[in-house]
């Protein structure tokens, strides 16, 4: 049974904007799903349906087979953690420590345990030195990290992140992505992440859904989806930079590539293969 099943989901905002126009998706336990799409394509709106913050205009969302509005709030919120797009929407306590402790405290953990979790979570996002700092005195990227820490501290089974990497420095992006990968691979946490950074996707995600105008345009593995240049174009995305380079080499310069590599590692192997042919020739 899929963990989350979205059936014919429509959402029209009060002012008449049709933000979602029939989304069908199934998310299996343990998956790492990337939701890609241009600005205004409906990613945030979709995500807000996944824990019941918004109610569908039509269609429904099933969580472990049951309509999500019929599952107790307490269960939904403790099993699904959401990192919002705008950190100012998410942080509300006055200090970092208090904010991160909020979720675990509400889960009824003992103070000592809460403390440990807070420490652990802050450590994981590289913010342990900021525990006592006021939230309003953090930089934007620092706030985003605290948002993630607040969810990590609750140890949910599903983590949904709305552009968690926007505004993080490159090192922060990498350590966050590795952290998420770890959680996903080792602890089986299901991950759903809306993002614009196509370069990350092939490195970490197992599935991609491309949204466009409130519909799912493509759904599949990175290889499948990025193979479809037309869909990518249509969704106002572009190929990962490496793929772009290799694609140009292949299509314009007729370099003989077996496939289009998506990551630095793959590209390196491919280029070496090409060059080693050369080496061989040279040696001959």
Give the integer Cα–Cα distance in Å for 181 and 187. Answer: 10
Side by side, the strands of the sheet bearing 215-220 are 80-83, 158-162, 190-194, 32-37, 207-212, 215-220
Q: Which structure tokens are listed for 112?
A: 């000592």
Q: From a copy of itself, ligand ATP, Mg ion, none, which one binds at residue 237 (CB under 5 to 8 Å depending on kind)?
A: a copy of itself
C-beta of residue 36 within 8 angstroms of C-beta of residue 195? yes
Closest residue to ligand ATP, judged by C-beta, is 141
41: contact with ligand ATP by CB under 6 A: yes
Q: How far is the CB of 143 from ligand ATP (least distance, A)?
A: 8
DSSP string, 108-128: T--HHHHHHHHHHHHHHTT-G
What span, in angstroms and rounded, lies between the C-alpha atoms of 35 and 32?
A: 10
In the list 13, 69, 94, 113, the residue contacting ligand ATP (rule: CB under 6 A) is 13
45 forms part of the interface with Mg ion (CB under 5 A): no
Please identify which residue in 93, 109, 166, 229 interacts with a copy of itself, judged by CB under 8 A. Answer: 166
Q: Which of 65, 251, 272, 273 contacts a copy of itself by CB under 8 A?
A: 272
Q: From CA 71, how far away is CA 63, in angstroms rounded?
A: 8
CB of 244 to ligand ATP, least distance (A): 21
Residue 53 binding other proteins, by CB under 8 A:
yes
Pull the structure tokens for residue 278. 């050369």
| Interface residue with ligand ATP, options 123, 140, 238, 269 (CB under 6 A) | 140
Site for other proteins in 215-234 (CB under 8 A): none
Q: Which does 51 bind (CB under 5 to 8 A by kind): ligand ATP, Mg ion, other proteins, none?
A: other proteins
Length of the chain (residues) = 284
3-state SS assignment for residue 68: helix
Q: How far is the CB of 196 from ligand ATP (least distance, A)?
A: 7
Minimum gap (Å) between residue 263 Cβ and a copy of itself: 9
Which CA distances in Å does 243 have to 33, 78, 164? 20, 39, 23
Among 32, 63, 102, 226, binds other proteins (CB under 8 A): 102
Piece in contact with ligand ATP (CB under 6 A), picked from 113-121, 131-139, 243-251, 262-270: 131-139
Choice between 110 and 277, CB closer to a copy of itself: 277
Is 90 a binder of a copy of itself (CB under 8 A)? no
From the list other proteins, Mg ion, a copy of itself, none, pick the one residue 90 interacts with, judged by a Cβ distance below 5 to 8 Å according to partner type.
other proteins
136 sits near Mg ion (criterion: CB under 5 A): no
The alpha helices in the chain, defined as continuous H runs, are 43-50, 73-79, 87-90, 96-106, 111-124, 140-152, 170-186, 201-204, 222-226, 229-234, 241-251, 264-283
């Amino acid at each position: 049974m899929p963990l989350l099943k979205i059936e014919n989901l429509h959402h029209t905002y009060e002012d008449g904007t049709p933000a979602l126009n029939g989304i069908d998706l199934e998310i299996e336990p343990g998956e790492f799903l990337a939701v890609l799409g241009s600005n205004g394509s409906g990613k945030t709106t979709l995500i807000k349906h996944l824990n019941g913050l918004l109610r569908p205009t039509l269609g429904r969302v099933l969580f472990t087979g049951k309509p999500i509005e019929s599952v107790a709030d307490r269960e939904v919120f403790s099993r699904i953690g959401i990192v919002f797009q705008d950190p100012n929407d998410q942080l509300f306590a006055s200090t970092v420590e208090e904010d991160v402790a909020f979720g675990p405290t509400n889960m009824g953990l003992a103070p000592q345990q809460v403390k440990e979790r807070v420490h652990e979570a802050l450590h994981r996002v590289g913010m342990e030195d900021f525990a006592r700092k006021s939230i309003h005195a953090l930089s934007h990227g620092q706030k985003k990290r605290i948002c993630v820490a607040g969810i990590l501290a609750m140890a949910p089974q599903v983590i949904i992140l709305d552009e968690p990497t926007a505004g993080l420095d490159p090192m922060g992006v990498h350590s966050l992505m590795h952290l998420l990968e770890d959680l996903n691979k080792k602890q089986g946490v299901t991950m759903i992440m809306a993002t614009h950074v196509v370069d990350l996707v092939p490195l970490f995600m197992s599935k991609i859904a491309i949204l466009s105008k409130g519909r799912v345009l493509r759904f599949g593995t990175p290889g499948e989806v990025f193979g479809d240049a037309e869909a990518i174009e249509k969704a106002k995305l572009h190929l990962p930079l490496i793929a772009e380079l290799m694609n140009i080499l292949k299509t314009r310069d007729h370099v003989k590539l077996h496939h289009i590599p998506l990551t630095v590692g793959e590209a390196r192997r491919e280029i070496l293969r090409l060059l080693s042919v050369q080496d061989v020739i040279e040696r001959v």
